[in-house]
Amino acid sequence: MMKFVEIKPVSHQQLGFFIDSSLCSGCKACQVACKDKNDLEVGRRFRRVYELHGGGFIDNGQGGYLNNVYAYNLSISCNHCDDPACVKHCPTTAMHKREGDGIVMVNTDKCIGCGYCSWACPYGAPQMNTQAGQMSKCDFCVDLQAKGEQPVCVATCPLGAIKYGPIAALRAQYGSLSDVQGLPGSTITHPNLVVKAHSGAEVGSK
């Protein structure tokens, strides 16, 4: 008797970033390299390095104080989310999520520069290209990846604080934390991002 085997479609390999905030020194080499590679004018940045700090001194009720002061750096770009707000709010479908690798990109043949995607994105990823009158954003350096090279931010970081790859593999190796102080809650767009928080940093949804 002939046995039929169900052939399942190959699942796509959603790409994502891993940011080791415990290693990031805030040098901004990734930010500068991204601006240089994409020829971005002053004010437009696809990758941004933030300095986050907070906490204070707490009275322990016994005449002493405990401190939970923290300060760390966090490098953030587009997170190529599973549920990207930019895509949902684009009226022309110019902002779209690619099949295969899940990279969120802008189709400049369709973009009318309305800015809805920028207003909707909690991470501020889409940014106006004023010269072209259209939106622009991190495209995961698809041109470099096509040549077998790393995204420029990954290749440039002197401390190896930025890694990329299939998000499932990154989560298997580094965990699934993507909620840290300074970032919007991950339930909004389900970002393909894993963060290793700096020692002493508060962790949790903003």
Task: Identify the pLDDT of residue 57.
Answer: 87
Task: Identify the pLDDT of residue 180.
Answer: 86
What residue segments make up the domains of the chain, in order of their start? 15-58+66-196
Produce one character per residue of 98-126: b if its CB has 16 or more CB atoms within 10 Å, e if not.
eeebbbbbbeeeebeeeebbbebbbbebb
Question: Residue 146: CB partners within 8 Å, gap ≥ 6?
Answer: none
| Stated pTM of the model | 0.86
**What dotted CATH number matches 15-58+66-196?**
3.30.70.20
Task: Identify the pLDDT of residue 9.
Answer: 38
Q: Which residues pair with 16 in a beta bridge?
A: 165
Task: Identify the pLDDT of residue 200.
Answer: 61
Are 136 and 126 in contact by the 8 Å Cβ rule? The answer is yes
Length of the chain in terms of residues written: 206
Q: Which of 30, 79, 34 is nearest to 178 (CA)?
A: 79
Look-up of token digits 């993507």: 178
Task: Identify the pLDDT of residue 197.
Answer: 85
pLDDT per residue of the chain (206 residues) written in tens, 0 to 9 = 444 333 333 346 999 999 999 999 999 999 999 999 999 999 999 999 999 887 788 888 888 888 877 788 999 999 999 999 999 999 999 999 999 999 999 999 999 999 999 999 999 999 999 999 999 999 999 999 999 999 999 999 999 999 999 999 999 999 999 998 888 999 999 999 999 987 766 565 34
